[in-house]
Amino acid sequence: MPVSWFYGHPMIQRINRPETSLADRKWNYSVQIGDFNAEQVKVKVEDGKVIIYAKYTDGNDEWGDTVVRTRTVQIPENVDSEKLHSFMKPDGTMMLEAQEVKVLCKGDMLTAQGERQRSEDGHEIRELFFRQMTVPRSVDGKNIQCFRDDKGNLTIRAPMAEDVEMEQAKKVDPL
């Protein structure tokens, strides 16, 4: 944070930075893989954890070396593990990314939550949001869809329960 002097006293100036939209907010995790290339690394999600497994074998018929590394990373609760993806950077760093917004519907209660952690000017900043709402009985909570526009606004849509029932009836008994 820049400091200016005003009549012999320090005056702190806040630089306004453009806020990143919700659509840009992601959970990131990086791990240095070392001498492994992308073909030698497997990533899987299991029980709320990411398991990174890397195996390298070198040698011939007379001798051989095998190097195996495994890294397990706990996925934060606010991260949707089904939307997690990974990629390898050219410097040998494995990157894990996922959107930080999670939308769940249990019974008639819809919950949208998110979290973001970042560093700015030597300070750790943690931003949270949590919204809960009751889903009307006329709405089918099992077929909820979420969309984000380019400004980061979250839209949650669900069909009416009777529309879903009519669609299912058409599939069972077409006229």
Q: What string of DSSP letters covers 65-91?
A: EEEEEEEEEEPPTTS-GGG-EEEE-TT
Helix (H), strand (E) at residue 103 = strand 101-106
Contact 148, 154 (CB under 8 A): yes
Q: Identify the pLDDT of residue 52.
A: 92
pLDDT mean for each 10 residues of the chain (175 residues): 43 38 62 84 90 89 88 81 80 80 80 72 77 84 70 74 73 61
Pairing of strands 93-99, 101-106: unpaired
Q: Identify the pLDDT of residue 174.
A: 55
Q: Identify the pLDDT of residue 11.
A: 44
Q: Identify the pLDDT of residue 126.
A: 73
